């Protein structure tokens, strides 16, 4: 991802892109972070910078996970999608970093099916979280306090429900890394919440 011309912060975000991800859940967050002046890197989980989504959209990631130190990022995002989420879960480097982050109190965001990754690792017990409706039971079975809110922020854990809430998640990440004023500026700039004429 090109670094924004004007950075609002030295903080940076890694978006983990695995084959079969839901592309909007990654790119909507990347877009609003760019507008907020937050450096965001697309990190390819597989062995190629070319990543094809569940909807057969192919894009070029910035760096391979094998060449990246995720601990150097201030926040890591797990997009959902099938088989993107199982592909994230199958990566030991991903699950190791998810565990390290949540146990260390460092920020992790996950959307759609992806909150099932920390849930299945036993990391959501007693924590508020949300996910795609098809994955809410997975969270509940692993001890999460599930919510149907579009975005749920529980300390260092940010979760969201799906493609239609990806912009909401991006704005929540901006607020988490910067502040509410920065999120409001982006919300205004993208004409967020405008209605179709009746």
Distance of alpha carbon 186 from the chain centroid = 18
Query: Where are the strands (E) in 31-98, listed by range?
Result: 39-44, 50-52, 58-60, 63-64, 75-78
Asked if residue 144 lies in contact with residue 129, where contact means CB atoms within 8 angstroms, the answer is yes
Asked if residue 48 lies in contact with residue 58, where contact means CB atoms within 8 angstroms, the answer is no
Catalytic residue status for 112 = yes
3-class SS of residue 116: helix
Provide the angle, in degrees to the nearest 10, between the axes of the packed helices 23-36 and 166-177: 40
Asked if residue 34 lies in contact with residue 73, where contact means CB atoms within 8 angstroms, the answer is no
Q: Which entry of 76, 112, 163, 169 is annotated as an active-site residue?
A: 112
Secondary-structure breakdown of the chain: helix, strand, coil percentages, each rounded to the nearest 5: 40, 20, 40
Positions annotated as catalytic residues are 112
């Amino acid at each position: 991802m090109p670094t924004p011309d004007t950075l609002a912060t030295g903080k940076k975000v890694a978006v983990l892109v695995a084959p079969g991800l839901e592309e909007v859940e990654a790119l909507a967050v990347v877009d609003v972070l760019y507008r907020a002046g937050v450096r965001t890197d697309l990190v390819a989980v597989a062995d190629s910078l070319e990543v094809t989504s569940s909807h057969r959209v192919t894009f070029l990631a910035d760096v391979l996970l094998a060449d990246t130190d995720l601990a150097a990022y201030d926040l890591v995002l797990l997009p959902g999608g099938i088989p993107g989420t199982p592909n994230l879960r199958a990566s030991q480097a991903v699950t190791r970093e998810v565990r390290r982050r949540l146990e260390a109190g460092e920020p992790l965001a996950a959307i759609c099916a992806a909150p099932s990754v920390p849930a299945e690792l036993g990391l959501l017990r007693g924590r508020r979280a949300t996910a795609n409706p098809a994955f809410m039971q997975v969270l509940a079975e692993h001890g999460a306090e599930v919510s149907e809110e579009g975005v749920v922020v529980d300390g260092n854990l940010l979760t969201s429900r799906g493609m239609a809430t990806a912009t909401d998640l991006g704005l929540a990440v901006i607020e988490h890394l910067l502040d509410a004023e920065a999120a409001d500026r982006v919300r205004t700039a993208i004409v967020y919440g405008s209605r179709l004429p009746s």
